Amino acid sequence: ARCQCKLAPRERTNCGFPGISAAQCRKAGCCFNASVPGVPWCFTPKPKKVRKVCSDDAHNRINCGFPGISAVQCKKRGCCFRAHPAGVPWCFYHRVVEE
């Protein structure tokens, strides 16, 4: 993701070695920008922004509880609770989505 490489030059963390090429840098999963002298040109990308969501797709739920678990017990486990539909886990893990 390009936006992960939009870092102020002073915020860059070196991700390569002196003289690394743009291709070598990118192959290592790093960002390359040689426009500013005196700062790392090959640098670590910003971490991806992710958020946890309770998926609406009932068939992709991964069980986080046990039969008869209450909403309170489920939330204490840090999971999602939806008491519908029948036949799928009502207490289930979040899905992590990239923003």
Mean pLDDT over 8-35 rounds to 94
Name the residue range of residue 26's domain.
3-47
Q: Judge if 18 and 39 occupy the same domain.
A: yes
Name the 3-class secondary structure at 51. strand
Neighbours of 90 (CB within 10 A): 23
Q: Judge if 54 and 43 occupy the same domain.
A: no
How much of the chain is helix, strand and coil, in % rounded to 5? Answer: 20, 20, 60
| CATH number (domain holding residue 32) | 4.10.110.10
List pLDDT tens digits, range 49-87.
888 999 888 988 999 999 899 999 999 999 999 998 989
95: part of which helix (H) or strand (E)? strand 95-98
Domains in the chain, number = 2
Q: Judge if 39 and 59 occupy the same domain.
A: no
